[in-house]
Amino acid sequence: MADGEYKPGLEGVPATRSNISYVDGQAGILEYRGIAIEELTAHSSFLETAHLLIYDHLPLVKDLEEFTEAVREHRRVKYRIIDMIKSFPESGHPMDALQTCVAALGMFYPIQEFSHDYVFGTVTRLLAKVPTVVAAFHQMRQGNDPIPPDDSLDRPSNFLYMLSGKIPDPKLARIFDQCLILHAEHTVNASTFAMLVTASTLANPYSAIASAIGTLSGQLHGGANEQVMVMLRQIGSVGNVRPYIEERLAKKQKIMGMGHRIYKVKDPRAIILQKIVEELFETFGHNKYYDIALEVEKVCDELLGSKEIYPNVDFYSGLIYDKLGIPEELFTPVFAIARIAGWLAHWREQLSDNRLFRPTQVYTGLRNQPYIHSDRRHPNSSHELH
Ligand SMILES: CC(C)(COP(=O)(O)OP(=O)(O)OC[C@H]1O[C@@H](n2cnc3c(N)ncnc32)[C@H](O)[C@@H]1OP(=O)(O)O)[C@@H](O)C(=O)NCCC(=O)NCCS
């Protein structure tokens, strides 16, 4: 391959063929299996959307009931996983704890022949257990026992209950579920690509999902939502916004929650999330961080609009999670609780027609070099070993 064909970050290079989600970064469109996210957020639930993504169609009522029931049944995690969490450092990041637990779960559920039952069992277990692990680590790092799942609650209410011990207002649970729908899938992003590469080796799906979780944790990907809330708190008041943004830009630092490799307009998920923030604050009380966020968006529009940098999905989601009482360090694990649906859809699609990922490289190193014995190497000479 000639050097000219190399695209840093594989920008614009198709890595797979997929019919799971469609994105138009110029028009600001995102569809799951052809259905606009605006429709799904208004009318669907996260589990119904997960079924749509993974199984390619909206389920019949009886199929959704069966799917929901199976996910409910798998909520508990093995006591040995809980024992393992006890040994984690309290200062550890919840994404690292989640990645470790998901990889460990794979030891309990070894890979099997790729059949309908195996896929159904894997999908429903992972959808069910990821929220339980996130909540368990959150409780245990504070010295509490984990709160067991409550089978009488739906998935979003149960997660919020396991975090706080309180059954949430149904309106808040619905808002949380809408956020999960919006984060459920987004074509071949970095974490999905990492999952695809691992899955293509025919590794255990728990390993493939653990790869994705590790990849999502970075601040250029899922970790940005946590950083947005940190930024809004650091700014502290509307008056501080402009000097804060100008100083960061002068130092060539990024503004978290702004910009996207695909979207050259405001991310359609950010538009919906902003509406949700407004409804949430109207019903449950306002806080100053929304005003600060609006000012950040305005100043960035002025200073970065010419580079087509606008709010992405992470910009407004943190404000919602904060209002729901979810601590900042759980924002990215919450992203994983949603994105697990998209990862599983891509896992199933990849394995239905698998080919090992094995890209090539543009070699830029030396060739035909002599081996220099250690007593003849000089620190400042070209003979120094790298
Ligand atoms: C998401 C992201 C990595 C995509 O960026 P990308 O396609 O790789 O684009 P680049 O990082 O090459 O940036 C292109 C230009 O826009 C600027 N830019 C991009 N995002 C920016 C941001 N959030 N704040 C300030 N400048 C930004 C870069 O500095 C660069 O400017 P230059 O051409 O003058 O050097 C990037 O926008 C970013 O880091 N955003 C902040 C993190 C974030 O919110 N991530 C969540 C994504 S959903």
- Predicted confidence (pLDDT) per residue in 127-175, tens digit: 999 999 999 999 999 999 999 999 999 999 999 999 999 999 999 999 9
76 CB under 6 A from ligand 1? no
Beta strand ranges found along the chain (DSSP E): 21-24, 29-32, 35-36
pLDDT of 206 strictly over 90: yes
Confidence band for 298, pLDDT divided at 50, 70 and 90:
very high
Residues tagged active-site: 260, 314
Give me the pLDDT at residue 382, please.
Answer: 56
Ligand 1 nearest atom to the CA of residue 258, by list position: 23
pLDDT of 383 strictly over 70: no
47 CB under 6 A from ligand 1? no
CA of 310 to the centre of ligand 1 (A): 10
258 CB under 6 A from ligand 1? yes
The residue written with tokens 């393992």 in the block is 84
Nearest CA to ligand 1 atom 6: 261
The mean pLDDT of the chain is 95
Is residue 302 a contact partner of residue 62, using CB atoms and an 8 Å limit?
no
Mutate to test the pocket of ligand 1, among 231, 255, 258 (most ligand atoms within 8 A of CB): 258
Give me the pLDDT at residue 381, please.
Answer: 59
Nearest CA to ligand 1 atom 14: 307
Ligand 1 nearest atom to the CA of residue 261, by list position: 7
pLDDT of 219 strictly over 90: no
> What are the distances in angstroms from CA 325 to CA 164, 173, 177, 225, 318?
8, 12, 15, 15, 11
How many Cα atoms within 13 Å fall on the side-chain side of residue 192? Answer: 26
Largest CA distance in the chain: 76
128 CB under 6 A from ligand 1? no
Ligand 1 nearest atom to the CA of residue 228, by list position: 44
Q: Return the DSSP state at 202.
A: T
CA of 257 to the centre of ligand 1 (A): 9
Nearest CA to ligand 1 atom 44: 257
257 CB under 6 A from ligand 1? yes
CA of 260 to the centre of ligand 1 (A): 7
Nearest CA to ligand 1 atom 33: 307
Nearest CA to ligand 1 atom 10: 261
Instruction: Work out the angle between the directed axes of helices 46-55 and 61-73 (0-180°, nearest 10).
Output: 100
Give me the pLDDT at residue 208, please.
Answer: 98
98 CB under 6 A from ligand 1? no
Ligand 1 nearest atom to the CA of residue 315, by list position: 44
Nearest CA to ligand 1 atom 7: 261
Q: Which two tokens stand for residue 46?
A: 């996260």
Q: What is the pLDDT of residues 8-31, one digit of tens each?
A: 999 989 999 999 999 999 999 999
Residue % of the chain over a pLDDT of 90: 93
The four Cα atoms 127, 130, 136, 142 give a dihedral, to 10 degrees, of: -140
3-state secondary structure of 157: helix
Average pLDDT over residues 285-290: 92
Give me the pLDDT at residue 375, please.
Answer: 94
Confidence band for 119, pLDDT divided at 50, 70 and 90:
very high
Average pLDDT over residues 280-305: 95
324 CB under 6 A from ligand 1? no
Which of 81-85, 329-333, 375-379 bottoms out in mean pLDDT, i.e. has the lowest?
375-379
259 CB under 6 A from ligand 1? yes
Is residue 264 a contact partner of residue 25, using CB atoms and an 8 Å limit?
yes
pLDDT of 384 strictly over 90: no
Give me the pLDDT at residue 2, please.
Answer: 52
Q: What is the pLDDT of residues 337-350, one digit of tens each?
A: 999 999 999 999 99
pLDDT of 312 strictly over 70: yes
Lateral strand order in the sheet of 35-36: 21-24, 29-32, 35-36
Q: What is the pLDDT of residues 43-86, one digit of tens each?
A: 999 999 999 999 999 999 999 999 999 999 999 999 999 999 99
Q: What is the pLDDT of residues 261-284, one digit of tens each?
A: 899 999 999 999 999 999 999 999
Average pLDDT over residues 188-215: 98
Mutate to test the pocket of ligand 1, among 307, 313, 339 (most ligand atoms within 8 A of CB): 307
CA of 308 to the centre of ligand 1 (A): 10
